[in-house]
């Protein structure tokens, strides 16, 4: 079974703090993703990575950065946390492209971040 | 850009009955994938069912089936014989046919199955 783990289920930080959210997958997937989930907005893509040291902006990258130094690990960084970044953060991974049976994204349990 | 719309924020159904969740999407792509994901309360998101746009036949997975209408850009999920464990948020998602696998999700429908 594919396993995607996230470093914390719940996190409370203060405004202005630097925050690291870690995600690890054990299935040798090339692609990894960070989403934030907010009520009424669904999941919105922050960043994704299709290879080590590669990254692409998603729909809402402002205020976030990412790091992928190893294939299995994808980190989301909030350089200076703000209250509007209070949200549920979901990490996912997948194989790239073909065949179609491999393009499913596998999700981690999520990190609920509260910024005070 | 692709957009996915789920027009039903909340729905409920009696146990053992059938319910249909709606999803529409907007794209200029001709080949793509559509997904329904389920997120149970406080649990991990899991794939329910997947449809490839070039396939005419509607996908089915046990009690879950889809009604894929490509021309109408509609992708509804039907859950038959609803069970209490089907209570969850359901997200419809769109993915282009490329190697990046980045998805676009709808806002979700919260389904409650009542005993």
What is the full DSSP assignment across B44-99? --EEEEEEETT--SPPEETTEEEEEETTTTEEEEEE-S--GGG-EEEEEEEEESSS
Nearest neighbour of B101 by CB, restricted to A90, A105, A108: A105
| Rounded distance between C-alpha atoms, residue A20 and residue A74, angstroms | 10
Nearest neighbour of B100 by CB, restricted to A31, A41, A44: A31
Residue of chain B nearest A39, judged by CA positions: B107
Per-residue pLDDT of A9-47, as tens digits, reads: 999 999 999 999 999 999 888 889 999 999 999 999 999
The answer, yes or no, to whether residue A2 has pLDDT greater than 80, is: no
pLDDT attached to residue A101 = 53
Would strands B88-96 and B103-105 be described as parallel, antiparallel, or unpaired?
Answer: antiparallel
> Is A38 at the interface with chain B, CB within 8 A?
no
Nearest neighbour of A58 by CB, restricted to B35, B43, B102: B102
Residues in chain A closer than 8 A to B108 (CB atoms): 42
Per-residue pLDDT of A87-99, as tens digits, reads: 999 999 987 655 4
pLDDT attached to residue B30 = 84
Is residue A84 classed as helix, strand or coil in its secondary structure? helix
Beta-carbon contacts of B103 under 8 Å, excluding residues fewer than 6 positions away, are: A33, A43, A45, A105, B35, B93, B94, B95
- By CB atoms closer than 10 A (0-12, 13-18, 19+), residue A3 is exposed
- Report CA Rg, chain A: 14
Give the rounded percent of residues in chain B with a pLDDT score beyond 70. 96
Long-range contacts, A53-56 (Cβ 8 Å, 24+)? A56/B100, A56/B102
What is the rounded average pLDDT of the residues B28-53?
91
Min Cα–Cα distance to chain A from B51, Å: 10
Residue B42: pLDDT band by 50, 70, 90 thresholds?
confident
Nearest neighbour of A43 by CB, restricted to B9, B95, B105: B105
Q: Do A90 and B107 touch (CB under 8 A)?
A: no
| Rounded distance between C-alpha atoms, residue A54 and residue A75, angstroms | 12
| Rounded distance between C-alpha atoms, residue A24 and residue A3, angstroms | 8
What is the rounded average pLDDT of the residues B10-26?
97
Residue B43: pLDDT band by 50, 70, 90 thresholds?
confident
Residue of chain B nearest A104, judged by CA positions: B47
pLDDT attached to residue A97 = 57
| Rounded distance between C-alpha atoms, residue B50 and residue B1, angstroms | 21
Evaluated on CA atoms A5, A54, A49, A66, the torsion sign reads positive
Q: Do B47 and A33 touch (CB under 8 A)?
A: no
Is residue A85 classed as helix, strand or coil in its secondary structure? helix
Rounded (5°) CA angle B48-B52-B58: 70
């Amino acid at each position: 079974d594919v396993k995607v783990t996230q470093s914390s289920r719940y996190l409370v930080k203060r405004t202005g703090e630097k925050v690291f959210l870690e995600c690890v997958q054990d299935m040798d997937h090339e692609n990894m993703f960070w989403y934030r989930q907010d009520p009424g907005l669904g999941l919105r893509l922050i960043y994704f990575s299709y290879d080590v040291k590669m990254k692409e902006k998603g729909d809402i990258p402002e205020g976030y950065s990412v790091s992928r130094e190893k294939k299995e690990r994808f980190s989301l960084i909030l350089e200076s946390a703000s209250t509007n970044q209070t949200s549920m953060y979901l990490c996912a991974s997948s194989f790239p492209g073909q065949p179609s049976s491999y393009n499913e994204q596998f999700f981690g349990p999520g990190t609920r971040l509260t910024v005070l | 850009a692709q957009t996915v719309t789920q027009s039903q924020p909340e729905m409920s159904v009696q146990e053992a009955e059938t319910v249909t969740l709606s999803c529409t999407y907007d794209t200029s792509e001709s080949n793509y994938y559509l997904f329904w994901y389920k997120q149970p309360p406080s649990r991990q998101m899991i794939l329910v069912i997947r449809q490839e746009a070039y396939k005419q036949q509607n996908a089915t997975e046990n009690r879950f089936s889809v009604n894929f209408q490509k021309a109408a850009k509609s992708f509804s999920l039907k859950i038959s014989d609803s069970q209490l464990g089907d209570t969850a948020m359901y997200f419809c998602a769109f993915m282009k046919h490329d190697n990046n696998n980045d998805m676009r999700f709808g806002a979700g429908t919260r389904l409650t199955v009542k005993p």
